[in-house]
Structure 1
Amino acid sequence: MITQCPIQPSNNFTYRFDVVGQEGTLWWHAHVGSLRASIHGALIIRPRSSSYPFPKPDHEIPIVIGEWWEMDLVQLDMRLSNGFLFDMPGAATINGKPGDLYSCAGFIKENNILNVQHGKTYLLRIVNAALDSEYYFKIAEHMLTVVAADANYVKTLDALLIANAPRGGYYMVAKAYQPLKPAIQALLFISRGIVLYDGQGKHEEDDLFDTPVVPNMPDQHDAITSFYFNGNLTSLQPLPLLHQVSTNIDEHLFFTLDAAYFCREGGSSCHNVTHYYNNMSNIGTLRDLPDRALRMFNYNMSLEPTSKATSVRRLWYNTTVEIVFQSPLLADSYSNPMHMHGHDFFILAQGFGKYDAEKDVKRYNLVDLPVRNTVHVPIFGWAVIRFVTKNPDD
């Protein structure tokens, strides 16, 4: 089940579901508009009988990156639907705390503090629960080893932290990425917590606690670091569907992505068609989602005609599907995280510019391609995924 009718006040709902073939960290959130900004949490899946495919951590710590909104989230939804895109959160948070950079804090001891012991290994289960921002995460003077993403193990998101630095206090920082102007510019959102070694910070006069080490973070407009990080993740375990997605593709789909506008109303679009579901009385009014745009429009133009519809692509069971997601090549465009409910998928390649089927197919990774449930389609770029339609309930 992906979503459901609302749970009424003073009532409850019990979920019972099977977890098959997944280990790691996922997350849950409300499905009522922007309420997921405050109603969310980590979903942790541990191995039942086997061990981790990496050194066993001494401790596991959820790290949830979020946002603090100073306005009613229902009102935020209404403003977004009317084309007001300039509302921004008041602060970024780590495990619910904004840190010492905001006026409501100002004291280091009000930060989220991760107490560690020298020589111990910590598995950080990192979740980005922010409404509309990507975040860089870093801990000063420490190396993080990424071991999993989207509940799938990777070679080399969960991260192992080995507490092997000199004893002291170290900032852990979550910093929001945003595209260059003329795209809408938000405030520079940074949340800071502290990794504090055992024995530090127990006394007011402890200078190491008062002056934690600060990490060097990527620039807020740095898209290249994110691109190479995501592009270098590869799978660890044997992939049962690898042969099927490598040899025989039944459906080739090419989807263009953008932010469409209708008068003052804004919304994301696919093929210059924005999702619209208001006052639809029956499923027969759904529009078929074509293999590709009905006409190949100019990705460099922002004045292309748009329309409203609810589009559906119908697929046969046990079909192997390839989808190319193309972002617009516009100065005010954004990166697009694409998520598929009910399915993991293989990421074959990502790149910048206009996708070239003849040239870019040579870049496909068909050996240890990563398995994810969300792919980051880079700004001014594209991404290619494949999956097998073996979820009969979706």
Structure 2
Amino acid sequence: MASWVQSVLVVLAMVLFPTTIESKVWHYKFNVVMKNMTRLCESKPIVTINGKFPGPTLYAREDDRVIVRVVNKVPHNITIHWHGVRQLRTGWSDGPAYITQCPIQTNQSYLYKFNVTGQRGTLLWHAHITWLRATVHGAIVILPKHGVPYPFPKPDHEKIIVLGEWWKSDADDVMNQWVQTGMPPNVSDAHTINGYPGPTPGCSSSGFTLHVEAGKTYLLRIINAALNEDVFFKIAKHEFTVVEVDACYVKPFKTDTIYTAPGQTTNVLLTADQKSGKYLMAISPFMDTIVAVDNQTAIATLRYKTTKPYTPLTLTTLPATNATPATNSFIESLRSLNSPKYPALVPLKIDHSLFFVVGVGVDPCSTCVNGSRVVAGINNVTFVMPDTALLQAHYFNTSGVFTDDFPGNPVTPYNYTGSGPTNIQTTNGTKVYRLAYNSTVQVVIQGNGIIAPESHPIHLHGFNFFVVAKGLGNYDPVNDPKKFNLVDPVERNTLTVPTAGWIVIRFKADNPGVWFLHCHLEVHTTWGLKMAFLVDNGNGPNESIIPPPKDLPTC
């Protein structure tokens, strides 16, 4: 058959039978292995996926199915969370340890299976147990369906930029410092861009280089995989057009500085429109309160392919560490497309109106340095991790693992951003908040000022949500709702509660299972700033949790 006839038939098949052509199952194998890595002129063994840091990128198309076999070959238990993937009715593959599954033990394996229905963009995957996320993380790229264009000019190329942190010591040892002393753990020794800190005082090692061609447009998929720090990202002399956050398209806007919190992803268009040369690419921390941060700037290079040898690096000025106006400007520029093709389906009628106060407190500790330890909680509850997975306990109706009495409002209201209560001790418990299937939820997340006010990147598993409002001080239930944006609020899976402020989200509980909500600062999660929503089954099998897989890890 003539080749041109074959081509015509292929095109006709794609038009007439798009589902058959487009639907695909992507198979990946993640071997969890130890690997020696050298950074900051020192070497250490780290936990990796397939020996890579950052780990391998998962690719799929909207409505495809992804199957990942994770084989644990290290002396650590492991789980993997597919950040922002909704896991509709299949929470068994969501990944947070002791929430939806027990950990994969040494020399054991588990088959994660999930669909990427209705999603497109960039997401993060990472270890979701202890502090292994420091080195076990990578990108998920969900491409649009074949023939479906981006809602922005098509880029010439796409590049992945993963931002992170690096400790000279073992990250879990850093976490255990709090357990042993009760004091906050040490900050990281460096930030990283695609795994490299670049030259630092005392170590002149090279960093990551992004090679570009003049006149070309690049889609940069920027992922913040850092454990404990919000960061600014900037490239000298170049401007970004923001087009997507957390795998949700936004109304495009221009900026020269990206602000991103741990767990968040940001897609931007960058046009190589400057003269040939080398340009500084850098990240630096954001912290607008008295909390220690790693002040080491990670350095990389954007280099035009026609650049001559020994061309000097063009520098840039990064925002100050406490540059709150820069973060506000970025956050407040984010708006959903809210178009006929990409509507913003904001819940307007609310079934559950919740008020969560997040922050830190103290608990007695007889073995700690000061006789107490810093802890964190939501509505004064420090979450205690169970010994078996909450989803398993729920599905099999196992008693004694959790209670469903998590308080939907503070038990004792106080001046949250003022002097606070005299008793700052939290209560401990493994509590969930129960939601009926398809119910609508509004959560006011209020930061408190106990010990030190601080911003909190809050991540919700199992759902996207709309951020309908934010503000400083204490939330005013009478006047602040008048300011809600119910037309085109940004849709995300991870938000930032401003320091000594509040934020309001809305979502629809249309995904049965047990879904984790926690601060994405790993130190705060370790301290107990976390809880879970239990969404009951609806009517029939299509609104119910599917049975657990046969290879579900046991505790």
Could you state the TM-score of these two structures normalised by the residue count of structure 1? Answer: 0.92
Instruction: Please tell me whether Structure 1 or Structure 2 has the larger radius of gyration of its CA atoms.
Output: 2
Alignment of 1:257 onto 2:355: no
Pick closer, same or farther for the CA change 1:25–1:285 going to 2, 3 Å.
Answer: closer
Structure 1's unaligned 5+ residue stretches are: none
Pick closer, same or farther for the CA change 1:285–1:143 going to 2, 3 Å.
Answer: closer
C-alpha contact 1:251 1:321 (8 A) present in aligned 2? yes
For 1:244 and 1:334, the matched residues in 2 are separated by 28
Alignment of 1:272 onto 2:380: yes
Shift of 1:268: 2.0
Whichever structure has more strand as a proportion of its residues is: 2
Question: Aligned residue for 1:290?
Answer: 407
C-alpha contact 2:174 2:185 (8 A) present in aligned 1? no
Choose which of 105, 111, 123 in structure 2 pairs with 1:8: 105
- The worse-fitting range, judged by mean Cα deviation, of 221-230 and 271-280 is 271-280
C-alpha contact 2:469 2:503 (8 A) present in aligned 1? yes
For 1:284 and 1:45, the matched residues in 2 are separated by 36
C-alpha contact 1:231 1:350 (8 A) present in aligned 2? no
The residue type equivalent to 1:17 in the other structure is F
Question: Aligned residue for 2:63?
Answer: none
C-alpha contact 1:231 1:349 (8 A) present in aligned 2? no
Q: How many aligned residue pairs are there?
A: 382
Alignment of 1:334 onto 2:441: no
Shift of 1:387: 0.2
C-alpha contact 1:155 1:236 (8 A) present in aligned 2? yes
Shift of 1:282: 4.2
C-alpha contact 1:275 1:309 (8 A) present in aligned 2? yes
Question: Aligned residue for 2:329?
Answer: 228
For 2:465 and 2:272, the matched residues in 1 are separated by 34
Shift of 1:36: 0.4
For 2:249 and 2:284, the matched residues in 1 are separated by 25
The residue type equivalent to 1:224 in the other structure is P
C-alpha contact 1:244 1:320 (8 A) present in aligned 2? no
Pick closer, same or farther for the CA change 1:332–1:244 going to 2, 3 Å.
Answer: closer
Shift of 1:279: 6.0
Shift of 1:77: 2.3
C-alpha contact 1:329 1:353 (8 A) present in aligned 2? no
Pick closer, same or farther for the CA change 1:197–1:284 going to 2, 3 Å.
Answer: closer
Question: Aligned residue for 1:301?
Answer: 419
Pick closer, same or farther for the CA change 1:163–1:72 going to 2, 3 Å.
Answer: same
Q: Deviations over 1:276-322 (max 9, x none)?
A: 13568944652511221111123223543421112211000000110
Question: Aligned residue for 2:57?
Answer: none
Question: Aligned residue for 2:473?
Answer: 353
Pick closer, same or farther for the CA change 1:283–1:338 going to 2, 3 Å.
Answer: farther
Choose which of 132, 139, 143 in structure 2 pairs with 1:46: 143
> Secondary structure of the equivalent of 1:358?
coil
For 2:374 and 2:139, the matched residues in 1 are separated by 30
Identity score, percent: 37
Choose which of 260, 273, 296 in structure 2 pairs with 1:189: 296
For 2:110 and 2:287, the matched residues in 1 are separated by 37
Question: Aligned residue for 2:198?
Answer: 99
Alignment of 1:167 onto 2:276: yes
Choose which of 56, 62, 67 in structure 1 pairs with 2:160: 62
Shift of 1:252: 0.4
Shift of 1:353: 1.0
Shift of 1:330: 5.3
The residue type equivalent to 2:242 in the other structure is V
For 1:63 and 1:166, the matched residues in 2 are separated by 23
The residue type equivalent to 1:149 in the other structure is V
The residue type equivalent to 2:407 in the other structure is P
Pick closer, same or farther for the CA change 1:7–1:213 going to 2, 3 Å.
Answer: same
**RMSD over equivalenced CA pairs, Å:** 2.0
> Secondary structure of the equivalent of 1:25?
strand
For 2:186 and 2:322, the matched residues in 1 are separated by 19
Structure 2's unaligned 5+ residue stretches are: 1-92, 96-100, 253-265, 365-371, 389-397, 515-555
Shift of 1:71: 1.5
Could you state the TM-score of these two structures normalised by the residue count of structure 2? Answer: 0.66
Pick closer, same or farther for the CA change 1:371–1:285 going to 2, 3 Å.
Answer: closer
> Secondary structure of the equivalent of 1:33?
coil
C-alpha contact 1:36 1:131 (8 A) present in aligned 2? yes
- The worse-fitting range, judged by mean Cα deviation, of 160-169 and 279-288 is 279-288
Question: Aligned residue for 1:31?
Answer: 128
Shift of 1:12: 3.5
Pick closer, same or farther for the CA change 1:244–1:41 going to 2, 3 Å.
Answer: closer
For 1:55 and 1:97, the matched residues in 2 are separated by 31
Choose which of 407, 411, 435 in structure 2 pairs with 1:315: 435
Alignment of 1:89 onto 2:188: yes
> Secondary structure of the equivalent of 1:245?
coil
Pick closer, same or farther for the CA change 1:115–1:242 going to 2, 3 Å.
Answer: closer
The residue type equivalent to 2:380 in the other structure is N
Pick closer, same or farther for the CA change 1:180–1:51 going to 2, 3 Å.
Answer: same
